[in-house]
Amino acid sequence: MVDKDDFQCDFENKWCPGCGNFGILNAMKQALADLEMPPEKVLIVSGIGQAAKTPHFLKCNFFHGLHGRALPVATGAKTANRDLNILVNMGDGDCYGEGGNHFISAIRRNIDVTLLVHDNRIYGLTKGQASPTSERGFVTRLQPHGPRSDPMNPAALALSQGAGFVARGYVGNREHLTGLIKQGIEYSGFALIDIMQVCVSFNRVNTYEWYAERVYDANRAGHDENDFRAAMNLVFEDKEKIPTGLIYRKQTVPFSDRLGRPGPDALLREKYNPDKVQNLIDSA
């Protein structure tokens, strides 16, 4: 039996008291334990930012890489070892800004990972600049008039690029978020969970109170996650309400199955042979 505490790691944590990241960390542990995933079968990949520190606080395999580049690393890891359950933690800046192109490519390739975006609408680590999901006019110390650009719509972008699993969670609703993470892990293919995460230090607009007035459970309100048109309508809904839950799900062929390699984890079992590599270099 796998327990939530099996993932407990006592590395010093410097997230601010009240940070929404704690809720995501706890929901991840709960989801992994509920699914009976042994830590040695789990790999967490991240980039750079406060969100990207999440794997430091989980006792399992992890790779903390470059800003915006978590998804290419996850693609390589999954391609080499299909047995790994891979979760990717990225911030809104990390994923939708610096790593925006990788985000689109990962969707189109349908890499078999669960992407958790800690979407706090701000660059937290670098102390509060506007991110791709900040509203136009969102004033920061760097942008006294706010950004001039309109915010990105990650769920709509993911749907438009053919994503087979698109969900939106909220840190203030931990049980609901845990359920979405579990469904994302169980999904075969690329799963996006865009998580409304509160940054208590640098985003004084999108607070717990602000979300409490807007967030609702779309599935409970009758949304059918199998209906693509309904999903598209939902993600363009009036901004005064924020639908959360499973927005869209369809069956897809994951990237590892598209490669057509013989065994399920052949690359992992293949012995490293430097002569073969040298021959390849010499023949170029």
Chain residues in the site for Mg ion (CB under 5 A): 91-92, 120, 124
Least distance to ligand TPP from the beta carbon of 94, Å?
3
Smaller CB separation from Mg ion, 92 or 98: 92
Given Mg ion, ligand TPP, none, residue 126, with its beta carbon under 5 to 8 Å by kind, binds ligand TPP
Nearest CA to 61 among 109, 4, 110, 7? 7
Q: How far apart are CA 42 and CA 60, in angstroms?
A: 6
Quote the distance between the C-alpha of residue 273 and its chain's center. Answer: 35
Q: Is position 23 an interface residue for ligand TPP (rule: CB under 6 A)?
A: no
Least distance to ligand TPP from the beta carbon of 210, Å?
17
Smaller CB separation from Mg ion, 128 or 179: 128
Q: What is the DSSP letter of 128?
A: -
Helix or strand holding residue 277 (H, E) = helix 274-282
- How is the beta sheet containing 61-64 ordered, strand by strand? 61-64, 42-46, 85-91, 114-119, 191-196, 165-170, 242-249, 215-217
Per-residue mark of binding to ligand TPP, 91-120 (x: CB under 6 A): xxxx---x-------------------x-x
What amino acid occupies position 56?
Answer: H
Smaller CB separation from Mg ion, 108 or 127: 127
Judged by CB under 6 A, the residue of 8, 13, 126, 279 near ligand TPP is: 126
Residues 45-74 that bind ligand TPP (CB under 6 A): 48-51, 67
Least distance to ligand TPP from the beta carbon of 237, Å?
24
Token look-up 């927005």 returns 247
Q: How far apart are CA 102 and CA 104, in angstroms?
A: 5
* 152, 153, 154, 155 alpha-carbon torsion, rounded to 10°: 180
Q: Which stretch binds ligand TPP (CB under 6 A): 7-15, 122-130, 139-147, 210-218?
A: 122-130
Contact of 117 with 92, CB cutoff 8 Å: yes
125 in helix, strand or coil?
Answer: coil
What amino acid occupies position 18?
Answer: G
Q: What angle do CA 26, 175, 249 make, to 5 degrees?
A: 105
Given ligand TPP, Mg ion, none, residue 67, with its beta carbon under 5 to 8 Å by kind, binds ligand TPP
Given ligand TPP, Mg ion, none, residue 70, with its beta carbon under 5 to 8 Å by kind, binds none
How many chain residues are in contact with ligand TPP, going by CB under 6 A?
18
Judged by CB under 6 A, the residue of 122, 180, 195, 247 near ligand TPP is: 122
Smaller CB separation from ligand TPP, 129 or 188: 129
Least distance to Mg ion from the beta carbon of 201, Å?
11
41 in helix, strand or coil?
Answer: helix
Judged by CB under 6 A, the residue of 23, 55, 124, 164 near ligand TPP is: 124
Token look-up 């799963």 returns 191
Least distance to ligand TPP from the beta carbon of 144, Å?
19
Interface residue list for ligand TPP (CB under 6 A): 48-51, 67, 91-94, 98, 118, 120, 122-126, 131
